[in-house]
């Protein structure tokens, strides 16, 4: 089918049409023409939306759904629909399922369940068997079947020798190891940021030291072993400084930050709303300033929604006993654009190549993998905006700027009626 995107401002620094208003013609999934005005036949589907902007498709490096094992939280089908309507053409699915994906059969299952969606799903495989931290999983076999990185979801790699061996081994097939930045022994029962608020509220704290200590160790191992290391969802100013120095020294390290850690501080905890029980925890205004600077100067490679649906039975509990996590796909772009300028935001959302994934630009002859959005709309995130099955949303009630219309990807158009 032929699609014509009308009067769209292109946001793609690598494109000859950057920040220009253009028509974009798509035929059989390929961008065949970009011009100030394009005339087409009556058979073409014309897409014309208010203040329409188009960029290369957005990428989210940390997504959880539930299936298999926790379908009541989110199925793969509904999760991918939510991702598409939220502007994401590509997502990495985390390993917090039951069973965990620690073999090639599990990777094939995930890919086959998402192969007909507009949003492309890229599974992570566990770093260790059963994600138990003891023995390496079938890393090579999983990579051959489509696993794009290896991660025991939100579990630190306790054994430094295991991380060293994993980084050395994965160099043979250019794979990425993810290491969650938490030295848990520093805060064995901590659940929120260790600061004034944790003391006032009587909640056990997680000091920033628990994050930076793990990062320091992991960077030292990376320097020794080589390989490719990704540090997901950093949250402290010292973490930014450590990774900035490591990159200057030539280490092959990337990192991400969760969108809500750019917006929310631990002041939110006074409500005792368990939607704010997150890992890593919400930190301070000073940390937010450093994280935003890190995104702007490229120290932080990408921003993720860190979407993690949790069923009511595990969220509507006393704060100490509730599960960690918040959904974030629907509010992700609005959260980011409330804190960053448009070009920086789009750059932070289009870093597929960091995970060896192909990224198509907005150019004639390219595969059409595009996100359609309105960057100026101001709105308040409410329950009616939630597309996910679960409703544990830390950004509920927050005023946001910018919203996705949807995507064109995999020869499919997925538009959300705002």
Q: Please enumerate in sequence order all residues whose Cβ is within 8 A of that of 223, keeping only pairs 6 or more positions apart, or say none.
A: 246, 249, 251
- SS3 assignment, position 233: coil
Question: Any idea which residue has 């138990």 for tokens?
Answer: 132
Two tokens at 314?
Answer: 């595990």
Question: Are the C-beta atoms of residues 312 and 264 closer than 8 Å to each other?
Answer: no
d(CA 207, CA 88): 33
Return d(Cα 309, Cα 250) in angstroms, integer: 37
| Sheet of strand 302-304, all strands in order from the earlier edge strand to the far edge | 177-178, 229-231, 253-258, 302-304
**Per annotation, catalytic residue among 12, 60, 90, 306:** 306
Distance of CA 81 to the CA centre of its chain: 16
Q: Which of 228, 295, 289, 285 is nearest to 257 (CA)?
A: 295
Task: Give yes or no: 60 in active site.
Answer: no
Terminal-to-terminal C-alpha distance of the chain? 24
For the chain, helix (H) and strand (E) counts, in that order, are 11, 17
Rounded to the nearest angstrom, the gap between the alpha carbon of residue 416 and the centroid of all alpha carbons in its chain is 20
Q: What is the distance of C-alpha 29 from the center of its chain?
A: 25
Catalytic residues: 306
């Amino acid at each position: 089918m032929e699609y014509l995107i009308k009067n769209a401002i292109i946001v793609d620094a690598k494109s000859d049409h950057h920040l220009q208003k253009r028509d974009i013609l798509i035929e059989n999934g390929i961008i065949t023409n970009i011009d100030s005005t394009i005339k087409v036949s009556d058979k073409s589907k014309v897409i014309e939306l208010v203040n329409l902007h188009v960029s290369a498709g957005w990428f989210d490096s940390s997504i959880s759904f539930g299936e298999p094992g926790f379908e009541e939280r989110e199925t793969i089908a509904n999760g991918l629909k939510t991702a598409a309507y939220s502007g994401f053409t590509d997502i990495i699915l985390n390993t917090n399922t039951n069973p965990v994906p620690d073999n090639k059969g599990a990777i094939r299952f995930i890919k086959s369940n998402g192969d007909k969606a507009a949003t492309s799903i890229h599974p992570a495989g566990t770093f260790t068997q059963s994600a138990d931290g003891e023995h390496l999983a079938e890393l090579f076999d999983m990579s051959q079947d489509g696993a794009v990185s290896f991660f025991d979801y939100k579990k630190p790699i306790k054994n430094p020798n295991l991380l060293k061996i994993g980084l050395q081994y994965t160099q043979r097939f250019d794979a990425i190891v993810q290491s969650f930045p938490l030295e848990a022994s520093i805060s064995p029962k901590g659940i929120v940021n260790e600061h004034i608020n944790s003391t006032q509220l009587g909640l056990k704290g997680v000091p920033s030291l628990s994050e930076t200590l793990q990062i320091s160790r992991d960077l030292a191992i990376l320097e020794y072993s080589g390989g490719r290391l990704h540090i997901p969802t950093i949250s402290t100013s010292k973490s930014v400084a450590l990774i900035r120095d490591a990159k200057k020294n030539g280490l092959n390290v990337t990192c991400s930050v969760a969108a809500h850690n750019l917006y929310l501080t631990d002041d939110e905890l006074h409500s005792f709303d368990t939607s704010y029980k997150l890992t890593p925890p919400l930190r301070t205004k000073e940390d937010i300033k450093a994280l935003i600077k890190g995104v702007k100067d490229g120290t932080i490679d990408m921003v993720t929604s860190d979407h993690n649906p949790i069923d009511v039975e595990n969220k509507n509990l006393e704060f100490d006993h509730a599960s960690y996590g918040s959904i974030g796909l629907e509010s992700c772009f609005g959260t980011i654009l409330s804190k960053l300028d448009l070009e920086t935001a789009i750059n932070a959302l289009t870093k597929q190549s960091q995970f060896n994934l192909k990224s198509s630009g907005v150019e004639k002859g390219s595969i059409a993998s595009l996100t359609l959005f309105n960057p100026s709309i101001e709105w308040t995130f409410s329950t009616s905006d939630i597309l996910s099955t679960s409703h544990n949303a830390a950004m509920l009630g927050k005023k946001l700027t910018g919203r996705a219309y949807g995507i064109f990807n995999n020869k499919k158009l997925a538009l959300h009626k705002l």
